[in-house]
Structure 1
Amino acid sequence: MKKYPIVSIMIVTVLTLSLLITGCQGGKNPIGDKVVQADTTDVDKNKQDEGSNQLSEEEIRKIELEKKIEERKALEEQRKQELGKFYVPLLPLEDEREIEKTEAKGLFVTGNVAGMTVDKANVEIYAEYSKALNNNDSTKISELKGKVDKLNKFEKILGIAVATEINSLVIDVKDDDGLMTYKSEIQIVEEVEANKSARIKDIKALMDLLKEYDIYPIARIVTFKDKNFASHRTDHAIQLKAGGVWRDNKGVAWVNPFDKFVWDYNIAIAKEAVLNGFKEIQFDYIRFPDNAKSYNPITEFPGREGRAKDEAVEDFLEYAKKELEPYKVNLAADVFGVITKSWDDRPEDIGQTWRKMAKSIDYMCPMIYPSHYGPGWYGYAVPDQEPYGVLSGALKEAIERNASLENPPIIRPWIQGFTAPWIKGHIKYNPKEIREQIIAGKELGINEYLVWNASNTYDPLAYFPLEAENNIVTPDKRQDKEKDLIGRTPDSVLKDYLNSEKNKVYSKMYLLTPVKDRPYSYEEFKNIVEALNLKLIKFEVKEYSLIDDNNAEIKVSYEYSSKTEEKELKAINEDHIWKLVKENSIWKVKRPEIKLTHAEEESSN
């Protein structure tokens, strides 16, 4: 504003000079022929003053920062009004983090264990002890044994991370009872008394400690199994049609996964976890209760509005992704191991469908515990006895499911780190059995894993790679390029596709069709296939030729028929060329046009 008087003086001065130089209308000097030289001292001074008012880059940056701070204050006030009791601040302006990706090899840690006091000297002792075990150094083992026996579980876990390939910890933030493991500042958390059992007394100190040891922290949030929230806000729990809150066979109430109030509660906790230093949010129990047949007839879910259960989970994850986007954090979901095989949440009916969940997350974490599979799975009478075989079978299915997505998440399985004595014929899970599960993943190009042990008791020997693992031929090192990521050749995939068509297993056809050659919606895809009104009578897959690493051609003979009330059409072909492409490292079938003619014409030919 101070410039305005200076500009006025300059204008008057310039006009005066103009009159003095040019004279009046006749062009003559009114005071004679003598030319008067104007004094420009004031003009130069004004120019200097104007120049001195120009801001330095540092001053400009300061003004811009002050403006951003004011804008942020206004935004946070607006968010407080909109979010109310779910309010959590955004990341600080000075926090310019990028999303951090880590090839996680992690262990599960409860709030009780993560809250234990840590002596860094003890961490180093256990790291040294772990290395001695791996090197079979009996002298060092004997020397350290007495000290090791006095260490707490968290010191041992950190020691394992220092000594082995473990680089991540999955830490309870909201546990299986719905209680926070550290004190939350969120209003709704206080209201439902979820802070009453905070075991981690200083979450910032814990995060600093993990950073010091270069450990990637993952926040486990038990989502829809939350008896604390369900008991404090009964109207947001799963309801009995007869009135009251439904409880499972252990007497635990669950919250309603269709309820946006419940979504906002869990997402607020996730936001705060990021502010406290977690790099990844992992939603566990992101499902409805199991044993659905027993409770479906007697329960109701306010807000369902005719939606299937897997739509509730799908919608929640889409919403969580949107809400957490400003927080620059990875998202993960824990899912039942069986959904690598089941389709559209059947028969489980717990709300988990791979393709619907996968599109909104960065990591899909199937819980592939061999002890959790019944007789006959993957051809084993007692799957618990086959850690390698179960992991290999389930991960191949997971890879095929994942490849059906345009932007698939990373598969990071939970593996069994415990012995299951309740299983008839069970085996003890020692480092060998744990390592076999890890190797099964590595052979399929899956190098990430998380180990579940509810008691947080871990043997460090399980997490030292074996020398024999150097000889594993990972998919990227295979010489036989005709095989896809799960070891299938083009002809075997086409046989699988055509058998699926013949037997009307449309889900398998969906998986083996390139993403851009079909709609995203499975129901729409199924309707399109059925509308073709084609019946595959017989087929023979003949020799194939590899065009390059990602394209193949195969000769096929087949017979199709198509019947209507008016006529019958047929398609008979002896050497029709079918094309296959590798998509997401999996062979897919590019279905050609099947030309039908009248049955009489075919028979005459």
Structure 2
Amino acid sequence: MRKRTFSENFIKPLSLFISIFICLNFLSICNSVTVIAAELSSVHPDHVRGLYVKADIASLGLKEENVERYSEYIEALKEKKNSKIDIGKINAFEKIVGLINATRLNAVVINVKDDQGYVTIPADSEYVLQAGSYNYQLKDIGKTMEQLKKYGIYTIARIVVFKDGVLAQNASHAIKYDDGTVWKDYSGAAWVDPYDEWVRQYNIEVAKQAAAAGFDEIQFDYIRFPEKFSQYDVSKKYLQNKIRQDQLIRQFLKDAYTQLKPYNVKVSADVFGCAAYLWDDQLNIDIGQVWYNLTQEADYISPMVYPSHYRGTNWYTQGDPNKHPYEVVKGAIEDSLTINSAFEDKARIRFWLQDFSMYDYEYGPQQIADQVKALHEKGIDTYMFWNNKNVYDPYNYLILEDKHPKVIPDKYPVYDIKNNNPADAAKRYLEADKNKDLYHSFILKAEKTRQSEYADYVKNMQWSGITAYEFTGYRESFNTAQVFFSITKQGKQQKAVLFMLLEEGIWKVHDYYIIR
């Protein structure tokens, strides 16, 4: 047997040791990556339960010991113990994170471009430099994101788009009068020009900066024109020979979604609650928020269904909407689910709820619970609460700890919505046909059997000529049904059957035939 040399005796074991060391370190790195990935994906976007946070609050920073102490304080409240934990020196951001850490909450919505138009995070974009909008509030956003991820918190970057007093100081980008004076709305706020391509790209660039900073989702707010814009004199010439406002907003959202795709972030849009109640209404066209032009260009659409904001309507309650949070949110949910079911390629829905008091009516634990109850009854467990002062009473969220959504079956789910059954859906479809009601005709027609775009549907619509109908019976089997009618067309009575299909939890008309 040949004797091994010194180099063989020393180098080979050394090589083996180095190889083992590298492998162990590689495994360690892999494990670390796995942990990080788990933290990044620990909250599914469909289960986000978040709180709104202003940039000045988020800039206060997080001390781990303070967050933990506030979480302990919340746990003591949860167990109804007489806590002697000192929370006097805990800042507002630490309280928010501590509250999230100790409850079912799991997300924050942080201002990245605020209501004045300031960009709050560092940005190396030429657009931001030209706008002069960076205000240094969240200059250490990297550290903040790292800390939030450590607590498994889902992070949403709120970007206020077209309400922008900072950029509007440059009148060339603002909505303005013929003499160049910047126009302002009834509240004194200046708006930038949504038709200005530079303005649109600027906001997309801000979104890219937020995505690069590590946010999980980009949320566009004020993604609209000013309220009742067409009623202002300034709008007359401004809107001439231009595409409709809602079509422009759709194009902006589509461009943003395309450009943000490489960043692997979700994209969401905040909309007025009326977008789900009204269809092609002039109010929605005015502001550019028509549901069918939004839901197909985002991952999430977020109706702001604050009960206080429904004052002056009787849409969901005969009393003061602000004092009936359950009824208002329930009605808004049902409208949103119904309207959204009309589209195959559509956004998911996540609602903004109210955690603030208005009109001398206090919002506390019961009002918070009532809003969430309306969601849970439909199997929905994702929402965001708005409080502009960022003061979140722990008791408002402790009441939700033992509340969970109704389990909706995966197979043949049916939403508990008024008139959502085969017979009533068929009657409403025939009523829409009789009255030439395009909206209900589109909504109640199974999307598998018609054009997906509403504009195409309208262009190719041919009404049947029904002048009267009488329901005679129906039969149902799982996700299909046949509904029978005696109908009148051109003065003649005929027997008809409508074939119904359960689609996205809503009963729709698949087709109908005359029985000869």
TM-score, normalised with respect to structure 1: 0.74
- The 5-angstrom pairing of residues 171-320 of structure 1 reads 171-195=110-134, 197-232=135-170, 234-295=171-232, 298=235, 300-301=237-238, 305-320=241-256
Q: Describe the SS at the equivalent of 2:282.
A: coil
Whole-angstrom CA distance in 2 between matches of 1:327 and 1:313:
22
Note if contact 1:127-1:159 (Cα within 8 Å) is conserved in structure 2.
yes
Whole-angstrom CA distance in 2 between matches of 1:347 and 1:466:
35
> 2:429 maps to which residue?
497
1:156 is aligned, of 81, 95, 104, to 95
Whole-angstrom CA distance in 2 between matches of 1:206 and 1:571:
72
> 1:53 maps to which residue?
none
> 1:412 maps to which residue?
350
> 1:584 maps to which residue?
504
Deviations 1:35-90 (A, max 9, x none): xxxxxxxxxxxxxxxxxxxxxxxxxxxxxxxxxxxxxxxxxxxxxxxxxxxxxxxx
Give the letter for the 2:440 counterpart. Answer: K
How far the C-alpha of 1:432 sits from its partner, in A, is 1.4
Structure 2 CA distance for partners of 1:416 and 1:218, relative to 1, 3 Å: same
The answer to whether the aligner puts 1:525 opposite 2:446 as a matched pair is no
How far the C-alpha of 1:527 sits from its partner, in A, is 4.1
Whole-angstrom CA distance in 1 between matches of 2:275 and 2:281:
7
Whole-angstrom CA distance in 1 between matches of 2:224 and 2:281:
11
Whole-angstrom CA distance in 2 between matches of 1:325 and 1:482:
31
> 2:445 maps to which residue?
513
> 1:132 maps to which residue?
76
Q: Describe the SS at the equivalent of 1:170.
A: strand
Whole-angstrom CA distance in 2 between matches of 1:466 and 1:203:
30
Note if contact 1:321-1:331 (Cα within 8 Å) is conserved in structure 2.
yes
Deviations 1:260-309 (A, max 9, x none): 1111101111111111110100000000000224325545448x743100
Whole-angstrom CA distance in 1 between matches of 2:409 and 2:175:
47
Q: Give unpaired runs (5+ residues) of structure 2.
A: 1-35
| Bigger Cα Rg | 1
The number of aligned residues is 476
> 2:26 maps to which residue?
none
Note if contact 2:228-2:283 (Cα within 8 Å) is conserved in structure 1.
no
The answer to whether the aligner puts 1:433 opposite 2:377 as a matched pair is no
Note if contact 1:258-1:301 (Cα within 8 Å) is conserved in structure 2.
no
Deviations 1:374-425 (A, max 9, x none): 23221332100011110000010000111111122110000001001xx3xx
Q: Describe the SS at the equivalent of 1:113.
A: helix
Structure 2 CA distance for partners of 1:98 and 1:536, relative to 1, 3 Å: farther
Give the letter for the 1:585 counterpart. Answer: G
Q: Describe the SS at the equivalent of 1:340.
A: helix
> 2:10 maps to which residue?
none
How far the C-alpha of 1:96 sits from its partner, in A, is 10
The answer to whether the aligner puts 1:351 opposite 2:284 as a matched pair is no
Q: Describe the SS at the equivalent of 1:323.
A: helix
> Could you tell me the percent identity over the aligned residues?
36
Deviations 1:468-504 (A, max 9, x none): 745x6443399xx684453621112112222222233
How far the C-alpha of 1:435 sits from its partner, in A, is 1.6
Whole-angstrom CA distance in 2 between matches of 1:433 and 1:292:
33
Whole-angstrom CA distance in 1 between matches of 2:392 and 2:501:
43
Please say which of residues 345-354 and 199-208 is displaced more in the overlay: 345-354
Whole-angstrom CA distance in 2 between matches of 1:164 and 1:108:
16
Q: Which runs of 4+ in 1 moved over 6 A?
A: 95-99
How far the C-alpha of 1:552 sits from its partner, in A, is 1.0
Deviations 1:519-572 (A, max 9, x none): 23324323433x44x443221223322222x111111121122xxxxxxxx552
Structure 2 CA distance for partners of 1:521 and 1:131, relative to 1, 3 Å: same
Q: Give unpaired runs (5+ residues) of structure 1.
A: 1-94, 562-569, 597-605
> 2:487 maps to which residue?
558
Note if contact 2:39-2:150 (Cα within 8 Å) is conserved in structure 1.
no
1:573 is aligned, of 491, 494, 514, to 494
> 1:567 maps to which residue?
none
Whole-angstrom CA distance in 2 between matches of 1:248 and 1:395:
30
Note if contact 1:113-1:154 (Cα within 8 Å) is conserved in structure 2.
yes
Whole-angstrom CA distance in 2 between matches of 1:491 and 1:259:
49
Relative contact order higher in (CA < 8 Å, ≥ 6 apart) = 2
Give the letter for the 2:252 counterpart. Answer: F
Whole-angstrom CA distance in 2 between matches of 1:450 and 1:125:
24
TM-score, normalised with respect to structure 2: 0.86
2:297 is aligned, of 347, 360, 363, to 360
Whole-angstrom CA distance in 2 between matches of 1:571 and 1:133:
71
1:333 is aligned, of 261, 264, 269, to 269
**CA root-mean-square deviation:** 2.6
How far the C-alpha of 1:220 sits from its partner, in A, is 0.3
